[in-house]
Amino acid sequence: MEVFRSISEIRQAIARRGGGRVVLVPTMGALHEGHRSLIEEGRDLAGEDGVLVVSIFVNPTQFGAGEDFEDYPRTLDADSRICEESGVDLIFAPLAKEMYAPNPSVKVIEESVTTHLCGASRPGHFSGVCTVVAKLFNIVRPDVAVFGKKDAQQLAVIRRMVHDLNFPVDIFGVETVREDSGLALSSRNQYLEAETRKDAAVLRQALLAAEEKFIRGERSVRALVDAATNRISSVGEARIDYVEIVNNDTFQPVEEIQSDAVMALAVFFDGTRLIDNIDLNLKDCLSSLD
Ligand code: PAF
């Protein structure tokens, strides 16, 4: 496994590996078991002859003012070990000055899937994500790119960008990995004290409470959101940013579930913002009642 800091070097290294399938797993580092499962999926998709590239870059343009860009954990040595163990061929870990020329004047803005949820509460965030992912696609030229389903909106935005801008890349989504408590793994979990980390498991419980109502036939978004928010509010220090149900394709809010939907939430615990989601699929729901 080799680690590259410059765009020209990573391009040359990929070219040297021959014509196999190139698979990219974009990350911001601070890798955990959730990333490991993305990387392992990437390895399978690349096959023996393909090239598996993991990018590690804490992208400044997707953090808003007052967010945790400075504090975001940077752990390249530990990340490299996980990559090595998981069969990564090449790491691309550029510095910000390699990725962004001074005063860049072009960015990628998605204007539909991003209007609600994190797009509304973190203005500019998805433009930063789209811009850096577009740059990574142009640098690495992957055949396939792998993203986690924990950030369901991000996955939908990237799919939309690839479709609308004709990137020749297949996007592959991987299931969320959870702690035994149900808490979704996140690099930000390490900001939490042990007690708060236990409390944060309420997010999964809230999503499951809503899902249970949905499976029993509840279709009113108000009732499902109430079920989830009541559960979260039972934990004193939880501060809800949003709990919403959106169409799983357009990511626009719905009032009544009439087609497949996603319940997504963002909640602060002691200043740390955590996200999670659950699919509310009518087909799954009908078959679970069979
Ligand atoms: O999901 C992430 O870690 C980041 O948003 C990504 C896709 C690597 C872009 O910086």
Q: Are strands 272-280 and 261-269 parallel, antiparallel or unpaired?
A: antiparallel
> Mean per-residue pLDDT for 100-105?
94
Instruction: For residue 266, give the nearest of 206, 217, 224 by alpha carbon.
Output: 206
Q: One-letter amino acid identity for 240? A: I
- The reply to whether 32 belongs to the active site is no
Question: Facing residues of 205 across strands?
Answer: none
Where, residue-wise, is CATH 3.40.50.620 in the chain?
2-174
| Mutation to probe ligand 1, out of 59, 63, 79, 185 (largest number of atoms < 8 A from CB) | 59
Measured in degrees and rounded to the nearest 5, phi and psi for residue 76 equal: -60, -35
| Domain 187-283, architecture per CATH | 2-Layer Sandwich (3.30)
DSSP 189-212: GGGS-HHHHHHTTHHHHHHHHHHH
Q: How large a percentage of the chain has pLDDT more than 70?
A: 98
| Domain 2-174, architecture per CATH | 3-Layer(aba) Sandwich (3.40)
Model pLDDT for residues 103-121, shown as the tens digit of each residue: 999 999 999 999 999 999 9
Number of H helices, E strands in the chain: 11, 9
CA of 227 to the centre of ligand 1 (A): 30
d(CA 191, CA 182) in angstroms, rounded, equals: 17
Where, residue-wise, is CATH 3.30.1300.10 in the chain?
187-283
Ligand 1, atom 2, lies closest to the CA of 27
| Three-class DSSP category at 156 | helix
Q: Are 147 and 174 in contact (CB under 8 A)?
A: yes
Model pLDDT for residues 222-254, shown as the tens digit of each residue: 999 999 999 999 998 999 999 999 999 999 999
pLDDT at residue 180 is higher than 70: yes
10 half-sphere exposure, CB direction, 13 A CA radius: 28
CA of 62 to the centre of ligand 1 (A): 9
- Specify the DSSP class assigned to residue 35: H
CA of 158 to the centre of ligand 1 (A): 10
> Mean per-residue pLDDT for 204-223?
97
Q: pTM above 0.85?
A: yes
d(CA 229, CA 214) in angstroms, rounded, equals: 15
Token readout for 75 is 């752990």
CA of 236 to the centre of ligand 1 (A): 30
Catalytic-role residue among 32, 35, 125, 163: 35
**Which residues line ligand 1 at a C-beta cut-off of 6 Å?**
26-28, 59, 62, 129, 132-133, 151, 154
Model pLDDT for residues 23-68, shown as the tens digit of each residue: 999 999 999 999 999 999 999 999 999 999 999 999 999 999 999 9
Ligand 1, atom 1, lies closest to the CA of 27
For 94, counting Cβ atoms within 10 Å of its Cβ (0-12 exposed, 13-18 middle, 19+ buried), the class is buried
The predicted pLDDT at position 167 comes to 98
Ligand 1, atom 6, lies closest to the CA of 27
Q: Are 31 and 78 in contact (CB under 8 A)?
A: yes
d(CA 283, CA 71) in angstroms, rounded, equals: 42
pLDDT at residue 174 is higher than 80: yes
Ligand 1, atom 9, lies closest to the CA of 129
Determine the length of the chain: 290
